[in-house]
């Protein structure tokens, strides 16, 4: 962070703002700053803009009303629903416990932005009193001693099994990205409702024509044309990471990482016994860093599979949020379901109805003449649009070639017959 972007300096220099909150400004600003840092450390994407907005917001409300303060800070500092819980926890802890402010200030100081000596003394007791307003009442009992570990993870889900990952070399990653650029799913280019100027377009672009004509003194010599832009639809990847899929995990994760970074509008989910959205984690350019973050939030590596339940959960929580705009769903699973395919057919059918195209990629069904015996496979097959067995999933290239193959895989009618 460059010095002039440091919220501390901006707020310290923001005298006009502070002056409008007489008597409280200095401490509030200091505490807000510590609070901002605390939130940033716990993972909220906050910049100096949010810190300044927060200060302005506190000036606009009755600062004695705790609920108003909470609502106001949340409105300016949080931009998405998923972060509410984290914010609420941090708010409860920070604005109640005077020690927590000191810890946070110390932790922020450790970040190296400022020397500890420059830190003003913790003043959140006074802030807390100021927030109580005219009617001071005894402070509520301390909820629990604040942990020195300020990570504030929302949930303490145990990591059932941590991912042990062998990274690809830089050259392999570069090659993988090259391959991903060649990836084209069936019916991949879809016309959008947006136009761009194009010589062989069929619609006259009047705005461009006029602009062109003015360059020639007003004579229209040539009509400019436009045509619809084409672009690939959003892609949603649902990837099975249960025990039976463990041997493909590495290649699949690299695939997910490359496709999330190379293509526009990709959402990635992992499921075994639970469903985890890993899109944000995989957006990190560095694959090893991304996998490290993924392995921290995914609780169910190489466990059992509850495909039906996971798909049901996806339908309920995510389908409406990520399947808009004609999304294509890529479902990567071997179809071996621990629950005996309970609810699997219904969930798959609902999923197919919510997206434009449901493509199932199965690394298990690689033998010709294979008869699907597993209940899970029999339940899912009638409900997918496209079915692609993968003969050899040892390399990313094989996976991408299979996906880009314009021929559909084995007809599902043959498979279920």
Among candidate residues 371, 367, 363, 369, the one with its CA nearest the CA of residue 387: 363
Q: Can you state the percent helix, strand and coil of the chain, rounding each to 5? A: 50, 10, 40
- Cβ-in-10-Å burial (0-12, 13-18, 19+) of 414 comes to exposed
DSSP annotation of 318 reads I
The least distance separating another protein from the CB of residue 29, rounded to whole angstroms, comes to 17
Q: Give whichever of 84 and 289 is closer to another protein, judged by the CB atom.
A: 84
**189 touches another protein by CB under 8 A:** no
Per-residue binder mask for another protein (CB under 8 A), 261-290, x = binder: ----x-------------------------
The least distance separating another protein from the CB of residue 121, rounded to whole angstroms, comes to 30
**Among 5, 9, 43, 65, interactor with another protein by CB under 8 A:** 65
Q: Give whichever of 167 and 210 is closer to another protein, judged by the CB atom.
A: 210
**Among 161, 197, 212, 213, interactor with another protein by CB under 8 A:** 213
Query: Between 25-41 and 124-132, two packed helices, what is the crossing angle to 10 degrees?
Result: 110
Phi (first) and psi of residue 357, to 5 degrees: -155, 130
The span from the CA of 384 to the CA of 165, in Å, is 31
**310 touches another protein by CB under 8 A:** no
226: left (phi over 0), alpha (psi -120 to 50) or beta: beta
**206 touches another protein by CB under 8 A:** yes
Asked if 384 and 265 count as a contact pair (C-beta separation under 8 A), the reply is no
The span from the CA of 256 to the CA of 180, in Å, is 10
The least distance separating another protein from the CB of residue 197, rounded to whole angstroms, comes to 13
The least distance separating another protein from the CB of residue 206, rounded to whole angstroms, comes to 4
What count of residues does the chain have?
417
Q: Give whichever of 193 and 373 is closer to another protein, judged by the CB atom.
A: 193
**57 touches another protein by CB under 8 A:** yes
Interface with another protein by CB under 8 A: which range of 72-80, 111-119, 131-139, 361-369? 72-80
Contact residues for another protein, defined by CB under 8 A:
45, 49, 53, 56-57, 60-62, 65, 67-68, 70-72, 74-76, 78-81, 84, 192-195, 206-207, 210-211, 213-214, 217-218, 220, 265, 315-316, 320-322, 324-325
């Amino acid at each position: 962070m460059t010095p002039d972007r440091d919220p501390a300096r901006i707020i310290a220099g923001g005298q006009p703002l502070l002056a409008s909150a007489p008597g409280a400004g200095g401490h509030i600003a200091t505490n807000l700053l510590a609070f901002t840092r605390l939130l940033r450390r716990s993972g909220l994407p906050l910049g100096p803009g949010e810190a300044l907005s927060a200060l302005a917001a506190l000036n606009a409300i009755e600062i004695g009303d705790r609920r108003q303060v909470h609502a106001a800070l949340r409105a300016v500092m949080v931009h998405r629903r998923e972060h509410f819980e984290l914010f609420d926890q941090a708010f409860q802890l920070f604005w109640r416990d005077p020690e927590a402010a000191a810890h946070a200030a110390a932790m922020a100081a450790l970040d190296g932005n400022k020397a500890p000596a420059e830190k003003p003394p913790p003043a959140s007791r006074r802030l807390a009193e100021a927030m109580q307003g005219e009617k001071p009442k005894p402070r509520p009992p301390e909820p629990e001693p604040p942990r020195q570990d300020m990570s504030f993870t929302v949930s303490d889900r145990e990591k059932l099994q941590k991912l042990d990952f062998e990274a690809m070399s830089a050259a392999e990653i570069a090659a993988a990205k090259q391959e991903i650029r060649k990836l084209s799913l069936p019916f991949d280019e879809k016309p959008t409702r947006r136009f761009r100027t194009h010589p062989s377009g069929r619609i006259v672009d009047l705005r461009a024509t006029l602009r062109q004509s003015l360059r020639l003194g007003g004579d229209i010599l040539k009509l400019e044309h436009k045509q619809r832009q084409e672009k690939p639809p959003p892609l949603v990847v649902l990837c099975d990471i249960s025990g039976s899929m463990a041997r493909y995990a590495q290649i699949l994760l690299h695939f997910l990482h490359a496709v999330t970074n190379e293509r526009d509008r990709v959402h990635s989910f992992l499921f075994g016994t639970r469903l985890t959205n890993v899109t944000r984690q995989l957006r990190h350019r560095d694959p090893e860093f991304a996998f490290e973050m993924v392995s921290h939030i995914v609780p169910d590596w190489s466990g059992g599979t509850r495909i039906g339940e996971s798909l049901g959960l996806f339908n309920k929580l995510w389908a409406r949020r990520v399947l808009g705009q004609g999304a294509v769903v890529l479902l990567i699973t071997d179809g071996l379901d621990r629950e005996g395919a309970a609810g699997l057919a219904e969930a798959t059918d609902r999923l197919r109805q919510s997206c434009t195209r449901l493509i199932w990629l199965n690394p298990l069904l690689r033998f010709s003449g294979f008869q699907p015996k597993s209940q899970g496979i029999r339940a899912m097959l009638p409900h997918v649009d496209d079915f692609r067995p993968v003969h050899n999933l040892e390399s990313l290239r094989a996976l991408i070639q299979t996906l880009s193959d314009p021929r559909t895989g084995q007809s599902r009618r043959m498979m279920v017959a």
